[in-house]
Structure formats: structure tokens, C-alpha cells
Structure 1
Amino acid sequence: MLPYDGARARALRLESGVCVEDLATAAGVSPNTVRNAESGRHQPHPRVARALARALGIPLHEIAPGGPALTLRDVRGRLGLTQAEMAARIGVVRQMVSQVERGVTSVRSPQTWASAYGLTPTQWRRLHQASRDLVRRKVAAQTRQRRRKHARGEST
């Protein structure tokens, strides 16, 4: 996702005189989601970032400044599409979009997919690889964490 600036979002919320609970209600999310996004503990999903910006009455770029999207999921989020909507654009099932966005599956026609995401085939391939790399890093981190727990004698 675009880098979400939680500190900026918090400052804008406080400037507006809105409490966490009211912002959460207006955005349709939980107060914990707002707190986690503002503290930087979690990067909010693009849909959540848009909802928070809308609830604050500000453009998204004020709390998620520009810069390139990191993954295909991010690009789809920028387009405001769900996986099901993207699947309908491409003519595949939603699960296929999920697998491709995670880099688990390759596609036969990158041109078709690139067009649906509003990208060139080269951009699409780069983002598909970035998605794959992200998943690999997550799996590696989870594996390291399990190994550390196992070495300390903790159950998983």
C-alpha cells in the first residue's frame, strides 16, 4: 500500500477536534483500526485509508502521500476495485486475482492483466514480482519467528 502517514492522520484528526471513536464510526471501522493506523503499528488496507480520509474530509494523498504502489493489490486498491470486480474485468474467478496478487500464480496473458490494472505489461510484471517478493519475505519472517519460539521451547 501507499505509505500511510499515521502521525499526519492523527494530527489532522486532532486538528479537526474529532475523537478516535467518532472517526472510526464515520469511517466504518473499529477504534482499534484507527489507533493502529495512527500509531504506525499497521498499514491500513487501501479501502480503510480511503474511508479514513473521506471521514476526515481530506484527500487521500494528505495521509497516504504519493510514491509508487508497491504491489498489484495496492494498484487495485487505488482503482477502488474489489478482487471480484477486478476478476470480472479480466474474465477470471476472484481466487485467481488473489493468487496472482500474492505472486503465487503466473498468468498466460500479462497484457490483459496489465490493461485491467491500468499498467503497461512491464509495470505489471514488476509489480507482480514485488507481490511475490513481499509474500516470500512474510513467509521467511514467520518461519524465523516459529524457529525462535521452538528454540525457546514455546508452543506454536
Structure 2
Amino acid sequence: MTVYDGARARALRLRAGIKVDDLAIAAGVSPNTIRSSESGHHQPHPRVAHAVAKALGVTLDELTPLEPPLTLRDIRGRIGLTQTEMAIRLGVVRQMVSQVERGVTGVRSPAAWADAYGLTPTQWESARQAARDLVRRKVAHQAQRNRNAARGNNAWQ
């Protein structure tokens, strides 16, 4: 399943100097659809994704990467730091790094955090969102397993 990269679409839109309203007109969708897909609140319909890509002058592949996005934890691992080392770099406690990397809590200065991870603020937010999405998928999967188990138990009663 390919996933629309709203953060990438936003970065391309901003780089091109295109306003949300103008992109919406060019793609034939509402501005709220653009905002919602860029923020990651929903995955746009394939027709919308194609229209946005065309309006931005890019291929759909550029907005739907094949590999899953890296999380902050993945990126921290790639730069060879432990949570404790990252916490020292940021001047926070290790638990804060853990919570941010899992998407449990936000931060007051995303730009400083992005810099500590060697990312742009947009890349940092995408990696943070990837962690949140991962947690959501795990919770949904566990909830489905619990529902299936409950149905199985009810069948024997």
C-alpha cells in the first residue's frame, strides 16, 4: 500500500511559492482537503493525489514513497546517538526524548529539536508523525486482536 506523503507535498508547495488556495484551485479540490492531507490527518483519494502531483509538477511517486518514513528513533539510531546522548544534546531528560520519539508529547521548539536530529523542521515533523502513525497502527492492530479474541471466546459460551 502506498502512502501519500503530505509533508513532502507541503514542502514542494512551499518551495514553489504556491498558496494552499491556489494549489486547491489547480488540483480541483477544496483548500481543506489540501490542508488535511498535508498535515497527515487523512490520506487523499488517489484521484486527489494525482491532481495534486500534477498541479505541483511532480510525479505521483514523489508524493507516495515506497518505503515507510523514518521515525525520530530511526534517525537518532542512524546518527549513532542513544536517547541519553540526544537528551544531553537538547538539554532535556531522557524520558522527554522517549516521549517525543513515540509521539506522546510535543515540544516547544521544534526547530531546535530538528537541528539536534540533523533535519529540517518539516523533515523532523514528518519523522515525528511517522512514529505517531506507527503507534496508532499498533494500537489498532491490538484492538482488532482483542475484538477477535472476544468473538472467539463468545463462540464457546
Q: Which residue of 1 aligns with 2:127?
A: 127
Structure-to-structure mapping, 1:98-137, within 5 angstroms? 98-137=98-137
Could you give the per-residue CA deviations for residues 95-151 of structure 1, whole angstroms, max 9, x where no partner exists?
111110011111110011001100011110111111111111111101111111111
Looking at structure 2, the residues matched to 120 and 106 of structure 1 have their Cα atoms a distance apart, in angstroms, of 16
The runs of at least 4 aligned residues of structure 1 exceeding 3 Å deviation read none
SS in 2 for 1:152: helix
Normalising to structure 1: TM-score of the pair? 0.54
The amino acid that maps onto 2:124 is W
Q: Which amino acid aligns with 2:109?
A: S
Cα separation, 2, equivalents of 1:150 and 1:112? 46
Which structure 2 segments of 5+ residues have no match?
1-66
TM-score (norm 2): 0.53
Q: Which runs of 5+ in 1 are unaligned?
A: 1-66
Amino-acid identity (%): 68
Give the structure 2 partner of residue 70 of structure 1: 70
1:112 maps to a residue whose letter is: A
Amino acid at match of 2:147: R
| 1:22-65 C-alpha deviation (Å, 9 max, x unpaired) | xxxxxxxxxxxxxxxxxxxxxxxxxxxxxxxxxxxxxxxxxxxx
Give the residue type in structure 2 aligned to 1:141.
H
State the SS of the aligned residue for 2:146.
helix
RMSD (CA atoms)? 1.6
Find the residue that maps to 1:107 and give its secondary structure. Answer: coil
Letter of the 1:114 partner, please give it. A
Contact 2:83 2:97 in 1 (8 A): yes
